[in-house]
Chains A and B, each alone.
Chain A
Amino acid sequence: MIGYENDTSVLHGAHPYTPLALAGAVFCLVFAARSPEHVGALLAVAVLLAVLAGALGQALRAALAIALPTIVLLLVLHGLLGPAPYSFVGPFLISDSGFERAVVLGGRITTVLVATVAVLRSVSPARLVDAMTDRGVPFSVTYLLVSTLTLVPRMRQRAAGILEAQQCRGLRLGGSPFARLAALRPLTLPLILGALMEVDEQVLALDSRGVGRSPRRTALDPPADTEFEWLLRWMCLVVVVAAWTARAREWLL
């Protein structure tokens, strides 16, 4: 499951802002990168993040399940239908620029996916709340970010519960593709309605716990931060700004 798991990896021990900053920098840079070499280098950084998060296996599985089919589709679209010049790759006549474009786009998707898995697995929502509270970030902003990070595991948990309940009521999941498609309806509707109800319940729960009654929450266990991590985060920002400045200059000139 893609979500936070308790572990002792390097990124688990880091200040929550650090993996977020590293992954954020990778996201920004990979969309500034235009050559397959640059995208490849950033994919290597994303894989390194996954290793540091102890999530290499999960990242590779996610890449195989989600990114690989997309890459194949991109190669077909851009490689076979792209502009001249063409080269033979085995029996196929492939567009050179189309192939390069497919590699860049596919590399970007894979990079984002791998870095996302690394962040989701290593950033504890509770530690992130403590960290943001300690820095005086408004709770609404904190809650928005943490809810986003925990969305996937919560939806999966809810979907599993609904699936069990509907199976108890006689829902059959096997059979033809049409039957499988028809079985989606009794799962999807309760999932969406349940998620909406959960929002209402969470609002009540948080309001009854005093959220919003004081301008600043008290941070109980703010995670430790180091000068190295602080410097690393600022370096991420500097590199991103430099990369996008260079990209903007290319557009203008």
Chain B
Amino acid sequence: MSPVLAMRLVSYRYAGADSPALAELDFEVNGGELIAVTGPVGAGSSTLLMVAGGYAPRLIGGELGGERLLAAERPAIVFATPWTQITGLCRSVFAEVAFGPASLGWPEPLVRSAARDALAWMGITHLAERDPAQLSGGEMQRVVVASALAMGPDLLLLDDPAAELDPLAANSLYELLGRLAGRGAAIMVATPDLDRARRVATRALRLETGRVVADGPAAQVLG
């Protein structure tokens, strides 16, 4: 099976920055893998996800070195700040979650069923008719994750997806990620939550100052 993402000595420098945020990244990501990306604050985990999904430098500028082979057809990303990911163009949570599939031009019945499924996976079917702008931080985070899931991503990138969630919701989210990986999706989660990551991740990358210092089975890297 060919990897959905391959990084060959990739480096990335933000526009105007003196030193690179990422350097000499060299790894592959395959379908079915759930990879925990860890490291101290500022190590480059969030940047790694942006580069991996093809969002940097395409949308935010900067300079990319090396070779990034993104074979995933439907990458999706979830940032740690859900309020920045609400489109502001939808009158209900259902429409918000359906926004992605609708953008992909899927037929209407498929858009609706994808949105319904994603809401059910995240346990937020009861929020379907609510105004997305009126949600709490935790509700909004679940809506944003549901919005990414609704697009049926083959590469799902999540930046601290449980930051706004209560412990039970965080447990559910990580269990769901484990199930999704079991169904063939490639998932990368940047997280400081090593306990939960250790439970479900199949592999872990540890970053320090933009470089991968450990890459291996989660149990081994996360300790």
Q: What is the interface of chain A, defined by CB distance below 8 A to chain B?
A: 124-127, 129, 133, 139, 143, 146, 150, 154, 198, 200-221
B residues near A220, Cβ cutoff 8 Å: 95, 98, 102, 108, 111-112
Cα(A217)–Cα(B105), bound, Å:
5
Cα(A205)–Cα(B99), bound, Å:
11
A221–B95 touching, CB < 8 Å = yes
Number of interface residues of B (CB under 8 A): 36
Given contacts A124-B91, A209-B151, A220-B98, contact A214 B104 (CB under 8 A): yes
* In the complex, residue of chain A having the shortest beta-carbon distance to the beta carbon of B111: A218
A128: min CB distance to chain B, Å = 9
Cα(A204)–Cα(B83), bound, Å:
12
B87 contacts chain A at the CB level, 8 A cutoff: yes
Best-surrounded residue of B85, B89, B105, B107 (most CB of chain A within 10 A): B89
Cα(A210)–Cα(B85), bound, Å:
13
A208–B148 touching, CB < 8 Å = yes
A residues near B91, Cβ cutoff 8 Å: 124, 126-127
Best-surrounded residue of A205, A206, A214, A219 (most CB of chain B within 10 A): A205
Cα(A208)–Cα(B74), bound, Å:
9
A205–B84 touching, CB < 8 Å = yes
B144: min CB distance to chain A, Å = 9
A206–B102 touching, CB < 8 Å = no
- The contact of B103 among A127, A139, A202, by CB within 8 Å, is A139
A85: min CB distance to chain B, Å = 55
B residues near A217, Cβ cutoff 8 Å: 102-103, 105
Q: What is the interface of chain B, defined by CB distance below 8 A to chain A?
A: 53, 55, 59-60, 74, 76-79, 81, 84-92, 95, 98-108, 111-112, 147-148, 151
A209–B100 touching, CB < 8 Å = yes
Cα(A56)–Cα(B85), bound, Å:
35
B111–A208 touching, CB < 8 Å = no
B105: min CB distance to chain A, Å = 3
Cα(A129)–Cα(B96), bound, Å:
12
B60: min CB distance to chain A, Å = 7
- The contact of B59 among A124, A143, A207, A216, by CB within 8 Å, is A207
A208–B77 touching, CB < 8 Å = yes
Cα(A213)–Cα(B104), bound, Å:
6
A residues near B99, Cβ cutoff 8 Å: 209
A218–B59 touching, CB < 8 Å = no
B103–A209 touching, CB < 8 Å = yes
Cα(A215)–Cα(B103), bound, Å:
9
Cα(A139)–Cα(B104), bound, Å:
12
A residues near B105, Cβ cutoff 8 Å: 213-218
